[in-house]
Amino acid sequence: MLILASKSPRRRDLLLREGINFCTITRPAEEQNDAALPAEQICARNASAKAEAVAIDYPEHIVIGADTLVFLDGKPLGKPTDLADAHRMLTELQGRTHCVCTGVALIFPGGFRRNFTVTSRVTFRPMSSVDIDRYLEEVPVLDKAGAYAMQEKSELIVTSVEGDVDNVIGLPVTRLLHELTR
């Protein structure tokens, strides 16, 4: 059985879209957001911690852990604490290009591990404070890194994506499927 060690409905939806049979099991895992570390290292560590927390109880299954962060000028933007924080984040992102990094950790039966990261570049439209308020009224963002959802009303805020759009949503499915079949 394949286990997704994530509560993210977006990751679940991406796997379901591909017709993958899995279950979701999560355990508490300590996440790091040390801005002094490279994006890839933070995401890889967090993904591993999530996968390990579940794999210890399910050693006979394949466990997938994932962590996605938005980075602007090398600084991680986590999930906003409230709408004012979301507005601040979107104001910082507006009119600029930022990176979205997802770390994925796979733990197979027998303890074999495969870890990888995928980074995409997202460019936002220039937006006024009114535009940002309108977006925040239409899209729930408090549980999303960087205070936005690529899969919801992205045409209001995004002009382009370089790389894997699924990665920006929260799970680079094409790369994941490649790694699972290796």
Residue 63 near residue 55 (C-beta atoms within 8 A): yes
- Residue in 13, 57, 67, 143 annotated catalytic: 67
Q: What is the pTM of this model?
A: 0.91
pLDDT digits (tens, 9 = 90+) for 76-118: 888 899 999 999 999 999 999 999 999 999 999 988 999 999 9
Residue 123 pLDDT: 97
- Neighbouring residues of 116: CB distance < 8 A, sequence distance ≥ 6: 103, 104, 175, 179
Helices (H) and strands (E) in the chain, counts: 6, 7
Do strands 97-107 and 113-124 pair parallel, antiparallel, or not at all (unpaired)?
Answer: antiparallel
Residue 22 pLDDT: 96
pLDDT digits (tens, 9 = 90+) for 150-182: 999 999 999 999 999 999 999 999 999 999 987
Query: Residue holding tokens 């984040």?
Result: 89
Helix (H/G/I), strand (E/B), else coil: 44: helix
Domain span at residue 16 reads 2-181
Residue 10 near residue 151 (C-beta atoms within 8 A): yes
Do strands 62-72 and 75-77 pair parallel, antiparallel, or not at all (unpaired)?
Answer: antiparallel
CATH (domain of 67): 3.90.950.10
- Provide the number of structural domains found in the chain: 1
Q: Above pLDDT 90, what percent of the chain?
A: 84
Among 139, 129, 124, which residue's Cα sits nearest to residue 93? Answer: 124
pLDDT digits (tens, 9 = 90+) for 12-62: 999 999 999 999 999 998 887 777 788 889 999 999 999 999 999 999 999
Active site residue 67: yes
Q: Which two tokens stand for residue 60?
A: 């006979």
CA–CA dist 73, 24 (Å, integer): 33
CA–CA dist 128, 182 (Å, integer): 47
